[in-house]
Amino acid sequence: MNGSVHPLGRRLAAEAVGTGALVTVVIGSGIQAADLSQDGAVVLLANSLATVFGLGVLIAVLGPVSGAHFNPLVSLATWWNGRGDGQGPLLRDVAAYAVAQISGAVGGAVLANAMFARPLVNWSTQQRHADHLWLAEVAATAGLIVVIFGLTRTGRAGLAPVSVAAYIGAAYWFTSSTSFANPAVTIGRAFTDTYAGIAPTSVGPFILAQILGAAVGLGLVAVVFGPQALKSAPRDIEVTSAAFAEQGSTRP
């Protein structure tokens, strides 16, 4: 990865910390809300708003270091979009990112369990296994990809913190699956038998649906934003980071 602003080690640390914190927010807020209320919509409202706030901050703070992917499919799509012009990340960097993301996600689940006095590892028993849930994961992930690459294709990666957070806030509600849309977070959520959990046996189909959704999303990006010119190539990991850093230097 040439032209890298931050060394790979720190980028991987940022991805692990960020994905972990995201999972802690998702699981922790779910536990707190479900402990406090009998009203299912109030619980989901608390869970979704906490995620909006937390995810937005994490992207804003860690974006300049690693690009704030927190999601193997976002890293993979970044590789896909940049594969033609020699500017994108290498596949082995994507693999390293994915390992950091998944490790972080598991750590985040353990931390959430610990803060709420639950067993540190506590396999979920919540089945999420149905056709319409898989359709929802396809739609949710496709939408996420359109948001991220729509913004980067139009040179506005700096709007990602607010936009991605808001998108997830909507997707919690408009999908029947409450929008996992992220294989690393899905794996992390298997480690807690609480509100936000997912049974290990339901993880595989969810991830397959998410992969399909990412492909649909990339197709939609091409249809709406057009085939991509060499010059306006989608940002690879470093370029995204640079955009964030630039935003910093010009905005405060």
Residues 20-79 that bind its own copies (CB under 8 A): 21, 24-25, 27-29, 32-33, 35-47, 49-54, 56-57, 60-62, 64-65
Q: Can residue 167 be called a binding residue for its own copies (CB under 8 A)? A: yes
Minimal CA–CA distance to 163: which of 75, 236, 60? 60
Instruction: Tally the residues of the chain.
Output: 252
| CA nearest to 6, candidates 236, 242, 235 | 242
Which of 96, 100, 105, 136 binds its own copies (CB under 8 A)? It is 136
Among 88, 107, 143, 197, binds its own copies (CB under 8 A): 143
CB of 134 to its own copies, least distance (A): 10
3-state DSSP call for residue 65?
A: helix
Residue pair 192/113 in contact (Cβ under 8 Å)? The answer is yes
Radius of gyration of the chain (CA): 17
Please select the residue that binds its own copies; options are 123, 173, 204, 219, rule is CB under 8 A: 173
* Rounded CA separation 88/71 (Å): 17
By CB under 8 A, residue 127 contacts its own copies: no
Is residue 96 a contact residue for its own copies (CB under 8 A)?
no
- Where do we find the tokens 């700096």? 158
What residues numbered 176-205 form the site for its own copies, per CB under 8 A? 176
Whole-number minimum distance, CB 56 to its own copies, in Å? 6
Identify the DSSP state of 92: H
Helix (H) or strand (E) holding 117: none
Per CB under 8 A, the segment of 121-129, 174-182, 200-208, 209-217 that binds its own copies is 174-182
Which structure tokens are listed for 160? 């990602």
Nearer to its own copies, 91 or 114 (CB): 114
> Distance between alpha carbon 152 and the CA centroid of its chain, in Å?
16
Near its own copies in 212-241, by CB under 8 A? 220, 223-226
Residue with tokens 């940049």: 82
Size of the site for its own copies (CB under 8 A): 87
- For its own copies, the binding residue among 14, 94, 98, 100 (CB under 8 A) is 14
Least gap, CB of 193 to its own copies (angstroms)? 17
Q: Is the sign of the CA dihedral 142, 145, 149, 150 positive or negative? A: positive
Nearer to its own copies by Cβ, of 83 and 99: the residue is: 99
Binding status of residue 88 toward its own copies by CB under 8 A: no
Among 90, 99, 122, 150, binds its own copies (CB under 8 A): 150
**Euclidean distance between CA atoms 99 and 191, whole angstroms:** 17
Backbone angles phi, psi at 193, to 5 degrees: -95, 60
Stretch binding its own copies (CB under 8 A), from 95-103, 154-162, 182-190, 204-212:
154-162
Nearest approach in angstroms of CB 64 to its own copies is 5
